[in-house]
Structure 1
Amino acid sequence: MEMSFRWYGSDDPVTLDHIKQIPGMKGIVSAIYDLPVGEVWPYEKIINLKQSIEAKGLRLNVIESVPVHEDIKLGRDTRDHWIENYKKTLINLAKAEIRTVCYNFMPVFDWTRSELQASLPDGSNSLLYNEEKVVNIDPISGELELPGWDLSYQTSDLRQIIEEYQKVSEEQLMENLIYFLERVIPAAEAEDVLMAIHPDDPPWGIFGLPRIMTSKENIVYMLKQVDSRHNGITFCTGSYGANPDNNLLEMLEAAEGRIHFVHARNVKWLGERSFQETSHLASDGSINLPVILRKLSQLGFEGPIRPDHGRMIWGEEGRPGYGLYDRALGAAYINGIIDLLHVQKED
């Protein structure tokens, strides 16, 4: 497995100089953040990003993410235009020799939490999702704004989009995803780019919006409908694992050979549809990362893996979930497990 780290570019308070000091660190997961959703990524911007990373002795191994335009998710008449743009971006990424693209198909809002700095018993803080609080929030009011959300819409446009989604069932949203993949995956195959869809986070509907990348059944359906090695998944232990009904080992087995990227993090279940993120240590949360990593090793996964959302520890401040210290501890923890798995294989 190739240890990797999320980096948000030159404005990220966590610098490449910091990241490269983490033992075993090889890859950088990043994107181009200053372009409107749906616009073709110019090759020049991609290569500049890649070269800035390579100058520090690391490599840009995953793009996370190339956002999918809302017209595609909604199945609007204009979606073919945005799909063509998406394919052109994949071509430019391949030209820069970038072979893995993480993306998601979550309507309107990306990952969602009710608190960004919820206290933990050890004095650190982390991201928390409280279902009771979220169901009483009007997302249009601006009461809840989270990193990752595209809030470039005008309020009237956002309201219209959310209202339009009320007419879109989970089945229709899945059909729109398949429509997108049927047109994008041939381009990905031609350019040898692995597409890795990220699960919905949390893995259930929010704000009355449908969500579909939530379960083993939906993963299997999506993979079968567009049956290509280049159509795969990002396996996020924290996203899928937020739902106790998801058997993560069974999900891994169901996606064997189609897992192209892994997000490793831990969450602690706090009740029905509520959870808080913890350290990566198995005993701190409800996700047993050593068991997950052992299964990935047994399945032959050798792709990029990154420590996902971390706590804020030792007084660090910064982008919620994306500080340096706890993610570095997570990388060290994951590396230790991987080293032990290698030793056990040799024995």
Structure 2
Amino acid sequence: MRMVFRWYGEGNDTVTLKQIKQIPGVEGIVWALHDVPAGEEWPMEKILEYKRLSEQSGLHLEVVESVNVHDDIKIGLPTRDLYIDNYKKTIVKLATVGVKTICYNFMPVFDWARTDLYKEMEDGSTALFMEKAKIEHMDPNELVRSIANNPDLTMPGWEPERLGRLTELFEAYKDVTEEKLRDNLRYFLEQVVPVAEENGIKMAIHPDDPPYSIFGLPRIVKNREDIRRILDFVNSPSNGVTLCSGSLGANPNNDIAAMVREFKDRIPFAHLRNVKVYDNGDFIESSHRTQDGSVDMTGVVQAYSEIGFTGYARPDHGRHIWDEQCRPGYGLYDRALGIMYLWGLWDAAERAKQTKGQGA
């Protein structure tokens, strides 16, 4: 397991590269050009600036999250081929600086959603929270207002250019069913995966977050069956999944450890985090510790150890603790704590595997 840490860039992140370097076992950053609109080809000079910063800090930049997919591709408009061509060119450029994995998603309009970014927990920390009944009756514009309460920081996964045209986007997606969205994903993958494979890059689709429909929009990466179908679209090691235990774990029916074992050869990137799911469907992003949430993090990490996982992994959303002022879910303290917990689980699993192999 190769530990990495998501970083939003100089001037756009409260966490520094120097701090990331000091977290035991972290070897690289997970990055993106957040100021480049979806669909545009990434400028080489901006890519090279990240390469310079990563080399200067002693951290690699082998994982990009995300190269966002333009809505015209998801909707299936005639203009999609232009944006797919730009995507291919970006893949080629990223390969030249050593990128090995590109995480992306295929969620319509909202790349992720929560109803409260700072829900207070029993211990006084705060965390990202989803009130399921509330979002079922919420106006999408109200969600945007609640999410965009920190204009100085771009939100993870959200494309700023989308926020001012929600009505237009909802109209564009009105006839897009799950079947049509799935067909459009297949079309996209048939175009880009061969380019990725030629350039030594693995594409890794991120599950829907949350793993169910919101605002009537289609969702096609919700569970084991969805992932199996997507991996069958293009039978290539470059067509993979970012297995996110938190996103998938918001549905208690999803067995994350079983997915690790089934998709073991197609998981270039793992997001490891816990969520506490309540009986009414609400969930909050707890600490990474197994006992604090609903996901069996111990079993998940054991499964990765069993399959001999050599891909990239990162702690995902953390709580806001010790009065840290940070991007919601992306502070330093709790994610660093999460890494140390994950390493503990990993070391224990690896030791148990060695002991078993020695017949003790």
TM-score normalized by structure 2? 0.93
Following superposition, the deviation at residue 278 of structure 1 comes to 0.5
SS of residue in 2 equivalent to 1:152: helix
CA distance in 2, matches of 1:335, 1:294: 11
Q: Are 1:186 and 2:188 matched, yes or no?
A: no
For residue 246 of structure 1, what is the aligned residue in structure 2? 254
Residue 161 of structure 2: which of 137, 142, 152 is its match?
Answer: 152
How far did residue 252 of structure 1 move? 1.9
Whether 2:8 is the aligned partner of 1:8: answer: yes
Question: 2:37 touches 2:159 (CA, 8 Å); kept in 1?
Answer: no
Quote the residue 2:173 is aligned against. Answer: 165
Alignment partner, residue 286 of structure 2: 278
Contact kept in structure 2, 1:216 and 1:254, CA below 8 Å:
no
Q: Which runs of 4+ in 1 moved over 4 A?
A: none
Mean CA deviation greater in 226-235 or 128-137: 128-137
CA contact (8 A) 2:6 2:30 kept: yes
Kept in 1: contact 2:109–2:162 (CA 8 A): no
> Quick one: distance in 1 between partners of 2:279 and 2:7?
32
Q: Find the partner of 1:260 among 253, 258, 268.
A: 268
1:223 equivalent to 2:231? Answer yes
Q: Deviations over 1:148-177 (max 9, x none)?
A: 32231474x421221221211111101100
User: 1:140 Cα shift?
Assistant: 2.9
Aligned position for 1:174: 182
Match of 1:40 in 2: 41
| 2:127 aligned residue | 126
5+ residue gaps, structure 2, are: 149-154, 356-360
Match for residue 300 of structure 1? 308
Root-mean-square deviation (CA, aligned residues, Å) is 1.3
Shift of 1:66: 0.2
Residue deviations 1:76-119 (CA, integer Å, cap 9, x gap): 01000000000000000001111110000000111110000001
CA–CA distance in structure 2, aligned partners of residues 272 and 254 of structure 1: 30
CA shift, 1:225, in A, is: 1.7
Report the AA paired with residue 305 of structure 2.
S
Are residue 69 (structure 1) and residue 70 (structure 2) matched?
A: yes
Aligned ranges 1:55-94 → 2 under 5 Å: 55-94=56-95
1:341/1:250 Cα in 2 relative to 1: closer, same or farther (>3 Å)?
closer
How much does 1:341 deviate? 2.1
Contact 1:280-1:333 within 8 A present in 2 as well: yes
**Same amino acid, percent of matched pairs:** 50
Tell me which of 185, 204, 212 is aligned to 1:204: 212
Contact between 1:27 and 1:304, CA under 8 Å: does it hold in 2? no
Q: Whole-Å Cα distance in 1 between the matches of residues 194 and 210 of structure 2?
A: 30
Work out which of the residue numbers 235, 242, 255 in structure 1 matches 2:243: 235
> Displacement of 1:126 after TM fit?
0.3
Contact residue 173 and residue 210 of structure 1 kept, 8 A: yes
SS of match in other structure, 1:116:
strand
Q: How many Å separate the matches in 1 of 2:102 and 2:271? A: 13
The residue aligned with 1:31 is: 32
Could you list the per-position Cα deviations for residues 227-261 of structure 1 after superposition, in whole angstroms to 9, with x for gaps in the alignment?
11100000000000100111212222331200010
How far is the alpha carbon of 1:316 from its aligned partner? 0.7
**Shift of residue 56 of structure 1?**
1.0
Matched residues in 2 for 1:72 and 1:85: separation? 12
Q: Secondary structure at the match of 2:118?
A: strand
Counterpart of 2:268 in 1: which secondary structure?
strand
Shift of 1:29: 0.5
Unpaired runs of 5+ in structure 1? Answer: none
Alpha-carbon contact 1:38-1:86 (below 8 Å) kept = yes
The 5-angstrom pairing of residues 320-335 of structure 1 reads 320-335=328-343
Question: CA shift at 1:336, angstroms?
Answer: 1.2
